[in-house]
Amino acid sequence: MNIASEMNFEDVQRVKLEVLRREHRDLDNAIHALQDRGTSDPFTLKRLKKQKLALKDRIALLEDQLTPDIIA
């Protein structure tokens, strides 16, 4: 048996969320490194920023799924 089969749905989603956050942080660091170097290709920067935004959307979706709706 693998560890994923022993975890419930919410635990798996939390692990996915952490992985996406780490990828988002890594992309942010890569973008800053390219900008600081000053020799970056504008198309590469644009592509990385687009990937970062897509990750942000996926993170927000997972966070919404994990946060219970509270009716006040």
For residue 10, is it within any domain?
A: yes
The string of DSSP codes covering 1-52 is: --HHHHS-HHHHHHHHHHHHHHHHHHHHHHHHHHHHHS---HHHHHHHHHHH
* Predicted pLDDT at 58: 97
pTM for the whole thing? 0.80
Domain housing 26? 3-65
* Predicted pLDDT at 57: 97
Number of domains composing the chain: 1
| Span 12-35, pLDDT tens digits | 999 999 999 999 999 999 999 999
**Which comes out higher in pLDDT, residue 54 or 69?**
54
For residue 38, is it within any domain?
A: yes
> Which whole number is the average pLDDT over 3-19?
86
| Span 39-53, pLDDT tens digits | 778 999 999 999 999
